[in-house]
Amino acid sequence: MTPPKHVNFRAKKLFGALGNIVDGAVAYIDLNGGGPTELHTHDHNHLFIVTEGEAKILLGDKEVIIHKDEAFLVEGRIPHSCWNNIDGVTKMIGITVK
């Protein structure tokens, strides 16, 4: 979408209000990379935003694919891990949310 009073400008909303941001990081996940190797849980949530490539989130008994320019909130209480889902490098931003 192009916001009002903008020219040659495209935007895609990734998320709205989610809670309190604790920290954030950029991850570069190589071919066959990801982790942790066993599903884990914790008290906080992760907001993952893929900026290049594609990520596969193992989430309990299902898989969620996050494509480039998409975001997904992982609930920390659900067993999960995150993996590269392409033959190249996946680049993503991880934001810890309470």
Question: 41-96: per-residue pLDDT in tens?
Answer: 999 999 999 999 999 999 999 999 999 999 999 999 999 999 999 999 999 999 99
H or E stretch covering 73: strand 70-74
User: Is the entire prediction scored with pTM above 0.75?
Assistant: yes
Q: Does any domain span residue 31?
A: yes
Q: Does any domain span residue 5?
A: no
Domain count, the chain: 1
Buried b (16+ CB within 10 A) or exposed e, 68-95: eebbbebebeeebbbbbbeeeebbbebb
Q: Which of 50, 95, 40, 94 is nearest to 71 (CA)?
A: 50
Q: Does any domain span residue 78?
A: yes
Q: Does any domain span residue 79?
A: yes
Q: Does any domain span residue 14?
A: no
Residue span of the structural domain in which 51 resides: 21-97
Q: Does any domain span residue 9?
A: no
Q: Which residue shows structure tokens 């949310």?
A: 97
Could you tell me the CATH number of the domain that includes residue 41?
2.60.120.10
Higher pLDDT, 2 or 30: 30
Q: Does any domain span residue 63?
A: yes
